[in-house]
Structure 1
């Protein structure tokens, strides 16, 4: 158990730089500059100017894929991970009416069955198609140059009303940081249950 806690703590310490905001921007004319997040790799050029840029792209995805598409994917995965992180540990104590209680959240998909899981996949596909007006491929998703990655026009509490550009960027950075943390958290929760064969708490 101590070894497991040590591994988790060392992983968190090693990843903290990925969540720290970039304090200064590097001049675009500076070539072969090293990344602040991964100092033994070159800083990615295409992440410059994006909210949440910490010069972290160890696999050079930004060199091979559209940056708008990558940001859209990051935001969507972040939002799903934040919901999943909440749902994963709530599953241990809260059961929807008509559902079979199960303490280990990893077993929940097997309990509800394939049809329920397929419904989620189908309806998420419909939602993706609808919010993107049918443009769901990397080549077509950003045909409209004014489309902002992750902006679905969903703000029921009016949090963005009257916000300055700097204020909006602060809110976007908060969402990204929480989403990145949630992606790590849900992965850790799932693997905890697999490794120990027991519920999270």
Structure 2
């Protein structure tokens, strides 16, 4: 039985992955590639960590030439559709570039050496010279902070929707 949800069976495909707490109530790990699921979790966590910072920061800092808004949910309307489409297009280009054109679930991990979340970008050398245990500890930290940030940004957005007032 699962450690995190004792009335469910423990998912077999999550064993051995950093951050495994035997939580997969919808059996995604049985139906999808675990590398693809982990890649998605890491990407969403990283974006959510940036989003939580940007969400509350937008309330206090306004870029020159922009109209300040108190509700961060309305910030995309200030910059307009063109700027938002540029973000979407450039994120698509970045996704295509980092995966060498393999952007579908079937092809993303055609190279067996590819590790989920590893983009080969480490300008500060944080990963170099680390033991396997230290790397797993850092990966677990990133996963936990990313999971918390995903919950946090959802809470921040819904706070503004429900109460119609600034976060702070």
Q: Which of 134, 142, 155 lines up with 1:175 in the alignment?
A: 142
| Corresponding residue number in structure 1 for 2:62 | 95
Q: Which of 131, 145, 151 lines up with 2:98 in the alignment?
A: 131
Tell me, in whole angstroms, the C-alpha distance in 1 between the residues paired with 2:114 and 2:96.
Answer: 15
Aligned pair count reads: 168
Tell me, in whole angstroms, the C-alpha distance in 1 between the residues paired with 2:106 and 2:45.
Answer: 22
Encode CA deviations 1:149-193: one digit per residue, 9 max, x unaligned. 000011121111110000000000000000000000000000000
Encode CA deviations 1:66-96: one digit per residue, 9 max, x unaligned. 0000000000000000000000000000011
Following superposition, which runs of at least 4 residues in structure 1 exceed 2 angstroms of deviation? none
Normalised TM-score (structure 1): 0.82
Superposed, which structure 2 residues align to 1:133-148 within 5 Å?
133-148=100-115
Question: Which sections of structure 1, spanning at least 5 residues, go unmatched?
Answer: 1-33
Encode CA deviations 1:98-143: one digit per residue, 9 max, x unaligned. 2111121001011111111111110000000000000000000000
Q: Report the alpha carbon displacement of residue 39 of structure 1 after superposing the two structures with TM.
A: 1.2
1:166 aligns with 2:137: no
Superposed, which structure 2 residues align to 1:13-162 within 5 Å?
34-162=1-129
Tell me, in whole angstroms, the C-alpha distance in 1 between the residues paired with 2:161 and 2:141.
Answer: 30
Q: Report the alpha carbon displacement of residue 49 of structure 1 after superposing the two structures with TM.
A: 0.2
Encode CA deviations 1:40-78: one digit per residue, 9 max, x unaligned. 111100000000000011110001000000000000000
Normalised TM-score (structure 2): 0.98
Supply the RMSD in Å over aligned alpha carbons: 0.6
